[in-house]
Amino acid sequence: MSKIKSSKEIVDNMGIGWNLGNSLDSYSPWITSNNPLDYEVSWGNPVTTKAMIDKVIEGGFKTIRIPVTWDTHIGESPDYKINDTWMKRVKEVINYAISNNVYVILNLHHEDNWLIPSLEKEAEVTVKLKKIWIQIANEFIDYDDHLLFESFNEVREKGSPFEWTGGTKEGRAIANRYNAAVVKTIRSTGGNNSERSILIPTYAASGAYEAINDLIIPNSKNIIVSIHDYFPYNFAMNCSDEYATDKWGSDNDKKELIERLNLFYYTFVLKGIPVIIGEFGSTNKNNLSYRVEHSKCFVSYTKKRHIGCIWWDNNANSIGAENFGLFDRSNLNWYHPEIHNALINSYNNTDF
């Protein structure tokens, strides 16, 4: 790798990002074939093509996050060997983006069945986590700093009362140790991985105060904090109770968003630790104008604070929960050009 950009330089140059959601992270216990495309389409999305990725990048996105679920493609202990055809397909999709000279983030995504932050499971999980990451790190060791690794997605105490509220002290401590193990494993492979930027999520990638406050940054250069922030929840995600709202944009709404982002800024960015909001967005409640305003403000406020942000796009475009579709992967156009334009223009028109 020639001159390596620091994590701060990368975050300041990554522009707006886009998630290839519900594709390489899709999985099903019913699939028995060795064809990676069977998994890729199992949640209803089309096979990812270079034309797809080219169009997203042509639309102004400079970072592509590629969530990948590995567990259904690895062998038994002690080797946990990643299936060669799956690794080849992941690499092919990464190359679609890398060939456009944009940033790519590669992670471990839906690994909830085994990646459990408990004392009972910690030793077993740590071994498996390290075995998987050493294979990935070696596979991509020659890629330059346009490729970033993210240790995992939303490690949490699944099914507990604390799953999405910042976790328990024990859960947060174990998530910290998992992050440290991943960073040490990646760095141990040497070469370009010795200084490659690595994203480490908070507990459950949560923006809750406890998760933010208890995150321990591994002793290594080029570490980026990863947070998912569908904020405010009642506007961005909630469709199921009396607190849900389809409106956003009052002075108080904007004040609350600023206060939220300031927590990340003062805890990390101001201390020299970059932050990327690896997932954000607002589900479609047939409320386009409010979603546009939220997108404008979110991007503008994050850029001013040197925080990167990446829209979660699962290609779902109905009305209701979990409909974050922005780019139509079948027809290669934008479901909501107004939101697309708001994201790109707000970033380009906002100074650091």
Residue type, 205: A
Residue 258 CB-half CA count within 13 A: 9
Nearest-angstrom CA–CA distance, 6 and 263: 23
User: What's the mean pLDDT in 186-198?
Assistant: 98
Q: Please identify which of the residues 279, 293, 322, 338 carries the catalytic annotation.
A: 279
Backbone angles phi, psi at 5, to 5 degrees: -75, 140
Residue 299: pLDDT over 80: yes
User: What's the mean pLDDT in 245-254?
Assistant: 99
Nearest-angstrom CA–CA distance, 101 and 124: 38
Residue written as tokens 């697309």? 340
In tens, the pLDDT along 74-91 reads 999 999 999 999 999 999
Q: Please identify which of the residues 40, 154, 157, 293 carries the catalytic annotation.
A: 154
Using DSSP bridges, classify how beta strands 333-334 and 327-328 pair: parallel, antiparallel or unpaired.
antiparallel
- The CATH number of 7-348, from 3.40.50.300, 3.20.20.80, 3.30.465.10, 2.60.120.620, is 3.20.20.80
Query: Is 154 an active-site residue?
Result: yes
Nearest-angstrom CA–CA distance, 185 and 197: 13
Residue 352: pLDDT over 90: no
pLDDT in the model for residue 126: 99
The reply to whether the predicted model has a pTM over 0.75 is: yes
Q: 330, 335, 231, 211: which is closest to 284 by C-alpha?
A: 335
- Judge residue 166's burial from the number of C-beta atoms within 10 Å of its C-beta, 0-12 exposed, 13-18 middle, 19 or more buried: buried
Beta-bridged to residue 228, according to DSSP, are 279
- Judge residue 72's burial from the number of C-beta atoms within 10 Å of its C-beta, 0-12 exposed, 13-18 middle, 19 or more buried: middle
Residue 313: pLDDT over 50: yes
At 34, the pLDDT band (50, 70, 90 cuts) reads very high
In tens, the pLDDT along 9-33 reads 999 999 999 999 999 999 998 999 9
In tens, the pLDDT along 36-72 reads 999 999 999 999 999 999 999 999 999 999 999 999 9
Torsion of CA 208, 223, 139, 15, to 10 degrees: 80
Query: Is 279 an active-site residue?
Result: yes
User: What's the mean pLDDT in 284-302?
Assistant: 99
Residue type, 62: K
At 1, the pLDDT band (50, 70, 90 cuts) reads very low
The residues, any chain, with a CB within 8 Å of residue 141's CB and separated by 6 or more, are 189, 190, 191, 192, 193
At 2, the pLDDT band (50, 70, 90 cuts) reads low
Q: What angle do CA 61, 303, 153 make, to 5 degrees?
A: 65
Nearest-angstrom CA–CA distance, 192 and 22: 29
Bin 3: left if φ > 0, else alpha if -120 < ψ < 50, else beta. beta
Backbone angles phi, psi at 225, to 5 degrees: -80, 135
In tens, the pLDDT along 114-137 reads 999 999 999 999 999 999 999 999
Helix 288-304 to helix 337-348 angle (10° resolution) is 20
Domain boundaries, the chain: 7-348
DSSP state of 242: T
Nearest-angstrom CA–CA distance, 146 and 143: 7
Residue 226: pLDDT over 70: yes
